[in-house]
Amino acid sequence: MTDLKELVKAGGFKGELDDSPSIIEAYSHDASLFEIKPKLVVFPKDSQDVESLVKAVAQAKKYDSSLSLTARSAGTDMAGGAINDSIIVDFRKHFTEMGLITRTTGQAQPGVLYRDFEKRTLSHGALMPTFPASRDLASIGGMVANNSGGEKSLEYGKTKDFINELKVIFSDGVERIVKPLTKDELDKVMAKDDFEGELYRKIFKLCEDNYDAIKAARPIVSKNSMGYTLWEVWDRETGVFDLTRLIVGSEGTLGFVTDITFRLVPSRPYSGLLVLFLRDIEKLGELIPAVLAHHPATFESFDDQTLWLSIRFMPSFLKLLGTKRFIKLLFSLIPDGAQLLRGVPKLILMVEFNGQTEAEVRAKIKALHSDLKGFKARYEINGFEEDATEGKSEKFWVMRRQSFNLLRSKVKDKHTAPFIDDLVVNPEYLVEFLPRLRKIINKYKLFATIAGHMGDGNFHIIPLMRLEDKKERDTLLPAMKEVNELVLKYRGSLSGEHNDGLVRGPWLEMQFGKNIVDLFREVKQIFDPEEIFNPHKKATADWDYSYSHIRQHF
């Protein structure tokens, strides 16, 4: 058996190494339903440490094929992408430096928490807008690994759309800059007689030889985190070759990102929220396009289960918000308590507009409010606060953003099981899709909250289950198959934001077909021929392996 500590130290590694029982336990799970115990957790101090680590493992793979490396920062991944049974590489401890930040760009290392990065960018009047709902917990490295989106993706897109440049350590253990290239620049890189030149030559050939099939494989939805986004790498019309589009969303399976330069957008200090309470969803097919025609910044939703959960565990918000903000939240809920006496809404929809002035935002909300008079729903205008965490609208954002944390921490005998948690279908299908989805959930007797990005058709379904009970564990596969089949019937994607990991990787062929998944496997082989990086994810995922690592102890 390989002595991992000696292996790592032999390469000149300067950071810390830890295989204590408490650390192994802490790093054996993320926010997913899986558990895999690593053998060692390492904390690299700089890029040189990561380079030496990759080279040492690559050399040792010749006599110990079980060795591998998985990157981890904040550990908030819901698909099992940040766990493995060999070496975990923690970027959260030392890779926390922020570099130059301006009104248009921001540079930082992957261990930086998004909330800290946002404070710096906002001080320059700028924003990196693709933050996830776990914005207070997530790292920017995880956002890149998962190609994160969130409540602002309706307007801005996803993380891949905001990458100017990455520093990446490939499987040869060398850190290189990766950025969009013109064809002339690409030709110069491909002419190199080294690992980088070979990698670019092979990926370009793969994209060019399979150009039409790759372009046709792109899911026809607003966002997708399934597979490798080959369809965005090479574009004949623009002549741009952008390898960052493969790295972003690859879950650390192709190399380790050590530095990120984002494109930023101007922050808009004023926001206003229009809230709609829907007692049924029959008019949803008409309502959604009516809202989208006004180009809101955000169009979110949560269901009645989320609402009741928030009310049931209201005291938990005291710790979350602090006394002053909790009291404001409590009093702001009183009018809605009266509203509940008139009937519980099936869906609460939140439409947010941003602007440079209060008058601009008010005008946008009033225009939408006027256009929606034909729909039987209650409207509530909130907001117009410079700080989006304050004001009347906070109660709705707290319910929307904190529902998963409430589920995870407050239900005694059941536990969160995010296995159908990130599906996407185009909004025009939702009036048919959502009742059919709820029917499947009821069939398997799952208590589940449904919240998501209504404007994108991207929903997060978080069932509560007793996974230590084999009977409940055995419902995962049939329930997942039925939901997946329903999503694909409506030409959707099985993941819009949370990525494949252990939970969705096994269904890539169901999503894309064998020919495209074979190309994904070829991509993995080109980047990582020794299979150093994050095994059992993406194109190498296998359901039997994933199922065997579902948590049974909480």
496-532 pLDDT, tens digit per residue, is 999 999 999 999 999 999 999 999 999 999 999 999 9
- The three-state (H, E, C) secondary structure of 447-507, written as one string: EEEEEEECCCCEEEEEEEECCCCHHHHCCHHHHHHHHHHHHHHCCCECCCCCCCHHHHHHH
Q: Please determine, for residue 71, whether its predicted confidence score (pLDDT) is greater than 80.
A: yes
Give tens-digit pLDDT for 159-203. 999 999 999 999 999 999 999 999 999 999 999 999 999 999 999
- End-to-end CA, the chain: 30
Rg of the chain over Cα atoms, rounded to whole angstroms, equals: 23
Give tens-digit pLDDT for 120-174. 999 999 999 999 888 888 999 999 999 999 889 999 999 999 999 999 999 999 9
C-alpha to C-alpha distance for 189 and 61, rounded to whole angstroms:
28
C-alpha to C-alpha distance for 379 and 316, rounded to whole angstroms:
27
Give tens-digit pLDDT for 324-373. 554 454 444 444 544 554 556 778 888 889 898 888 988 998 899 888 88
**Looking at residue 316, what is its pLDDT?**
59
Half-sphere exposure (Cβ direction) of 315: Cα atoms closer than 13 Å: 1
Q: Identify the DSSP state of 67.
A: -
108 with 162: CB under 8 angstroms?
no
C-alpha to C-alpha distance for 108 and 161, rounded to whole angstroms:
17
Residue type, 193: D
| Model confidence band, residue 554 (pLDDT cutoffs 50, 70, 90) | low
C-alpha to C-alpha distance for 250 and 234, rounded to whole angstroms:
17
59 with 106: CB under 8 angstroms?
no
| Model confidence band, residue 387 (pLDDT cutoffs 50, 70, 90) | very low
CA 526 to centroid of chain Cα atoms: 25
C-alpha to C-alpha distance for 4 and 16, rounded to whole angstroms:
13
**Looking at residue 344, what is its pLDDT?**
65
Residues 6+ apart with CB under 8 A from 528: 171, 253, 254, 255
Using the Cα atoms of residue 385, residue 387, residue 393 and residue 394 in order, give the sign of their dihedral: negative
Question: Two tokens at 442?
Answer: 């009821």
31 with 417: CB under 8 angstroms?
no
H or E element, residue 365? helix 358-371
C-alpha to C-alpha distance for 331 and 336, rounded to whole angstroms:
10
Number of residues that this document lists for the chain: 554
